[in-house]
Amino acid sequence: MMTRVLVIGSGGREHAIAHALLRGQSVDEVYCAPGNPGMKDDGIITVDLSVSNHSALIDFAQDKGINWVFVGPENPLIEGMVDDFEVAGIRAFGPTRAAAQIEGSKTFAKELMARLNVPTAAYASFDNYEDSVAYVREQGAPIVIKADGLAAGKGVTVAMDEETAVQALADIFVDNRFGSAGSSVVIEEFLEGQEFSLMSFVRGDEFWTMPISQDHKRAYDNDEGPNTGGMGAYSPVPQIPQTVVDEAIETIVRPVTAGMVDEGTPFNGILYAGLIATADGPKVIEFNARFGDPETEVVLPKLTSDLGAGIEAILDGSEPVFEWDNERTTLGVVVASDGYPDNTKTGAAIHNFDCSATADSHGTHVYYAGVTENDAEDGLIASSGRVLLVQTTADTLQEARQIIYDILDNTDTTGMFYRHDIGNKALA
C-alpha cells in the first residue's frame, strides 16, 4: 500500500521537508499545497489550494487517501489547521491552535517561561504607544522591540539607541505596519552573545532534538540592515559548546514541553527554540511552533535516517529513530529580491544554478521559495522577497562556503541579492 503525505506550505522550508520525506523509504508520494513550481524537479506534486482553505485541504486529503499531513507554516497552525484535520479524522503533525500560541503570542510565551522559571530576557508588555515609549525612555538602549503577534520574522527591532526604539514603536502603533500582530508589543532587555537555533521533534513531554544551527537575520553583510525572515544558515555551530546545548535542553526544552502538558496545552510537532548563549548561560529569544526557515534547509540534509518513518512513529505513539550526520557541515545562502524586506522588487529571472560538480550522497541543492512560472519562456521568476536557498554539505565550513559562493558568484542573479558572509561568525 502506498504512503501519501500532504505538506502544507509553499516556501523553502516546505521544499526541504518534502525533499527529505522523499529521500526516505517510508513515503511514496508527497503532495505540497500550494507548493511552488521549483519543487516539481524533485518529484513533489504541487496542489493549487490555499493554506487558508482548510475545508478544501481536508477534502483533498480524503479524496487522495493521504496517510498524514505535515503543516509547515505558522499561520495555519495558529488558525487551528491541526485541530480541523483531527476533527476530520486525518492525522496531522503539528501543534493545536492552543499550543501554537507559544509562537502566536510573545506575551503568552513570556508568561509561560516566567511560570516555569525558564531563562529569558527581562520584559514588559504594552498595548499603546505612550506607555511603551515611556518605558523605553526609562530603560534606555540598547533594547529590543517585538510586535506581539506574527510578522513574518520582521516584527523585531534590535534598537541600539532610544530613537530607533521609539521609531519602531511608531511603526507598530501609529503606522500600524504589522496590522493586528502589532496590537501589543513586548519590550525586552538586550542580551549579549551568539544566537543559535535548537529545534526538536516533540510529542507532549517527550522530545528528540536536532543538530543546532545559526541563522543570519539582518539583510546585509556584517549584520547590517533590517531584520528579515533569515538570509542564510549553517550547522553545526562550532563556537557553541555542547555543554551549552545540553544546558539549554535541560533548562529550556524539557521544562517547556513538560510545562505545556501540565498546563493543558500539550505541544506536538516541531518546537523551535531561538536561543542566545550569554555569559549567564543560554536564554530564550523566541519560540516558534514549527521548523525555522532557513534553518530547516541546512538541518534536514544532515538527517541520515528516514524522516517519514520518524514522524509516523511519533504519530503512532511509538519510539522514533532520528540519526544525523554530525561530522560534516551544511550551509545555505538565501537569494532574495532586490529591496527585500521593505521595498521588494519581484520579477527577476531565475537562472540555473550549476550544482552538478558537487553532487554526493546529499549533494548541493536548490530549495525554492518565492518563485512562479515565467509565462514568456520556460523558466521561473521571483515572486516574493526570499526567492530560493542554495545549500551544500561539505567536510568543513570553509569548504562549504567555497562551494556555495563559487556557485552564487558564477550565476546571473540580476534583480536579486545575497549575503556574502554566511558562516563567518564561526571562523572569527
CATH architecture of 4-96: 3-Layer(aba) Sandwich (3.40)
pLDDT of residue 183: 75
* Portions of the chain given CATH number 3.40.50.20: 4-96
pLDDT band (50, 70, 90) for residue 179: confident
DSSP state of 172: I
Burial of 319 (0-12, 13-18, 19+ CB in 10 A): exposed
Choose the CATH number for 192-316 among 3.20.20.120, 3.40.50.10300, 3.30.470.20, 1.20.1090.10: 3.30.470.20
pLDDT of residue 38: 95
* Portions of the chain given CATH number 3.30.1490.20: 122-189
For 14, phi and psi rounded to 5 degrees?
Answer: -70, -35
Q: What is the mean pLDDT of the chain?
A: 93
Q: Which residue has the cell 527585500?
A: 340
Model confidence at 361: pLDDT above 50: no
1-19 mean pLDDT: 96
Q: How far apart are alpha carbons 79 and 96 in whole angstroms?
A: 9
265-283 mean pLDDT: 97
pLDDT of residue 152: 62
Least confident of 67-76, 147-156, 288-297, 388-397: 147-156
Model confidence at 182: pLDDT above 70: no
Q: How far apart are alpha carbons 295 and 300 in whole angstroms?
A: 8
Amino acid present at 160: M
Residue pLDDT, tens place only, 369-408: 999 998 777 789 999 999 999 999 999 999 999 999 999 9
Least confident of 31-35, 52-56, 140-144, 291-295: 140-144
b/e burial code for range 39-78 (CB count within 10 A of at least 16 → b): beebebbbbebebeebeebbebbeeeebbbbbbbbbbbbb
| Element spanning 20, H or E | helix 12-23
DSSP state of 415: T
Residue pLDDT, tens place only, 191-242: 999 999 999 999 999 999 999 999 999 999 999 998 899 999 999 999 999 9
CATH number of 122-189: 3.30.1490.20
pLDDT band (50, 70, 90) for residue 364: very high
pLDDT band (50, 70, 90) for residue 154: low
* Portions of the chain given CATH number 3.30.470.20: 192-316
Contact at 8 Å (CB) between 52 and 8? no
Least confident of 64-68, 112-116, 361-365, 375-379: 361-365
Nearest to 315 by CA among 24, 47, 39, 70: 70
Model confidence at 358: pLDDT above 60: no
CATH topology assigned to domain 329-426: Glycinamide Ribonucleotide Synthetase; Chain A, domain 4 (3.90.600)
130-141 mean pLDDT: 92
Q: All 3 cell numbers of residue 355?
A: 550544482
Residue pLDDT, tens place only, 22-48: 999 999 999 999 999 999 999 999 999
Q: How far apart are alpha carbons 115 and 120 in whole angstroms?
A: 12
Q: Roughly how many angstroms between the first and final C-alpha of the chain, as a whole number?
A: 52
Q: Percentage of the chain with pLDDT > 70?
A: 96
b/e burial code for range 388-424 (CB count within 10 A of at least 16 → b): bbbbbbbeebebbbebbbebbeebebebbbbbebbbb
Model confidence at 418: pLDDT above 60: yes
Cis peptide before 73 (omega within 30 of 0): no
Helical H runs in 241-294? 242-248, 254-262
Nearest to 169 by CA among 143, 207, 198, 203: 143
Mean pLDDT comparison of 185-199, 237-251, 346-360, highest-scoring range: 237-251
273-285 mean pLDDT: 96
Model confidence at 153: pLDDT above 60: no
pLDDT band (50, 70, 90) for residue 355: low
Amino acid present at 281: G
* Portions of the chain given CATH number 3.90.600.10: 329-426
Going from the C-alpha of 185 to that of each of 110, 165, 256, 351, 358, the distances in angstroms are: 12, 12, 22, 41, 46
- Strand 349-350 vs strand 380-382: parallel, antiparallel, or unpaired? antiparallel
Contact at 8 Å (CB) between 271 and 74? no
